[in-house]
A = this chain, B = another copy of it.
Amino acid sequence: MASETDKIFSEFKEHSVAEFFKKNRQMLGFSGKVRSLTTIVHEYVTNSLDACEEAGMLPDITVEIKELDKEKYWVRCSDNGPGIPQKHLGKALGMMLAGTKFHRYVQQRGQQGIGASGNTMFSQVTTGKPVKFESYYDKKKVAGELAVDFKQNRPVITNETVEETDGSRHGLVVEGEFAEVKYDRSSFSVFEYIKRTALVNPHAMIALVEPTGERLTFPRSIETIPPRPRQIRPHPLGIGTNDLMEFARAERESRKTSSFLQATFSRMSAAKTDELAQMCPEVDFEKSPKNLTWDDCEKITKAIHSDQVKWIAPETDAIVPIGQPQIEKSLQSILAPQFMAVTERKPKIYRGGVPFVVEAALAWGGNAGKKAVSGYNSDIMRFANRAPLLFDAGGCAITEAVKSVEWKRYGIKDFENEQITVLVNMSSVHVPYTGAGKQAIATEDEIMDEVKNAVMEAARDLQRYLHGVTRDRVRVERKKAIMRYVTQLAADLAELSGGKIKAEELEKKLLHLIENKYSNAIEEDDSGDGNIEEEISSQEEEVNE
């Protein structure tokens, strides 16, 4: 046994997170040629939008793509954001799990500290080249080349230069060469990604220079800077025993457990800590938080989650949804639908205390939906913190929630084949992505329910509209059917009357009657006020007869 066991474990090795993602690059979204290129652009654009938002600036972002060789492209992304200071550039672009976003409780598109470093990794792996950067800030221009040392997960900067500037320019430029990628305009492409990003970021100007040289500009449709996302303290209902332990161990200022709790969590008043203290007589709320045991923390957590304690809902001004007018404006300009309905819901929480807001919109007719071989397919546009989710639709809470809606109840007989676009945006301080590629939202019950409710709310508006449309259509069909027989009927009646009635006159009278009847139909029909669906289907049956 001995030698066998030793032999098996003779190859025991440790690996860096950079090596892990290099080998499993599909987990970062680098799988498939078109998708890989979209992932590259996604990571850079996301960072640019976040940086501008945090600095309170209106983003101007330009993405340029050139074809170098078969399945080999040059990508450059430049923004007018705050730039990145010299000492942080390496880690920001060449070290995985390093960044400003990972540990903060604030709404941002990026949240893992992998994205841009993943791009650097992909450039190295596919072309052997580092990426190039220029950072403009503080009357300085720092430029250079940057690679990842995979074994150490450390950045390697070369050819770095620092120049003085007049300070008029600020922002970041990153460019790199990438192979095993492909540019097209399919539904998973850079083009679609940027179009959708523009759709939900009406305050951003985004330009795309395609490999053909064509320049597409998605201009700003609003000039107001969205409120800057604010970092908030976590809500007590959102934490578990382990979180409480970690906060307690890291505490530097509060001397007592009671003051620590008030300083650490939102909605935690002195009265609330007293209430908790009474519920946990075994825990000494006067002692230092550093001395809290797991057992203590477990008791406090249980008290927090007990039905006896009522909590004020989480602060929500840290969450910045897109807003109904912005969504309407964007949908109108991009899809020009025949009808649209937008719902803006109140903040909710998931996992007990993580606040989030769902916005949903339905667009029907016009350029909504996806063109299919015959007719149209429905289209679900998913967004998280205003970033488009193009991939992994299958396992996403948004897709599953939208598909779980009983569309028939809202007059949509076959949702899959309807000319309809459903837009859903989830905003939160922490979006529970299913993978590091950030393309799908985990199917948490509260999120699923909220998305479904938001979509159903919009669907009710659509139903009302469609009821009108259907009725109009039914009326037109009926009229047409009768019209077809009017001339014959008039002639027949004229003959029957033995010449007493003139066919032409009768036809005129009949036509007049029909016109009147069908233009007054709305008022008459409405007086009935029965079940809308039944009405529609019985009307349709009439037409078919």
Interface residues of chain A, those whose CB is within 8 Å of chain B, are: 1-2, 4-6, 8-9, 11-17, 19-20, 23-24, 26-27, 31-32, 51, 54-55, 82-85, 88, 91-92, 95, 97-100, 102-104, 112-113, 124-129, 137-138, 167, 170, 180, 240-242, 245, 294, 297-298, 392-395, 399, 432-436, 440, 442-444
Contact = CB atoms under 8 A, between A and B. Distances in A.
Contacts of A126: 240-242
Interface centre among A102, A433, A434 (most CB of B within 10 A): A434
A67 B314 CA distance: 33
In order of increasing CB-CB distance, the 10 nearest A-B pairs are A394-B394, A128-B294, A435-B435, A5-B82, A2-B138, A125-B242, A17-B17, A14-B98, A15-B97, A394-B395
A125 to B, nearest CB: 4
Contacts of A399: 394
A20 B103 CA distance: 10
A186 B508 CA distance: 70
A13 B538 CA distance: 65
Contacts of A16: 97
Contacts of A95: 14
Contact of A9 (B100, B103, B392): B100
A58 B14 CA distance: 29
A393 B31 CA distance: 18
Contact of A91 (B14, B20, B84, B395): B14
A345 to B, nearest CB: 23
B55 A5 contact: yes
B102 A13 contact: yes
Contacts of A84: 5, 9
A433 B83 CA distance: 36
Nearest to A391: B395
A13 B125 contact: no
Contacts of A102: 13, 15, 19-20, 23
Contact of A8 (B9, B11, B55, B241): B55
Nearest to A101: B11
6 contacts: A15-B102, A20-B97, A20-B112, A26-B442, A128-B245, A128-B298
Nearest to A167: B1
A433 B20 CA distance: 13
B242 A1 contact: no
Given A26-B434, A395-B395, A434-B27, A170 B97 contact: no
Contacts of A13: 98-100, 102-103
Interface centre among A12, A294, A436 (most CB of B within 10 A): A12
Given A31-B442, A294-B128, A5 B97 contact: no
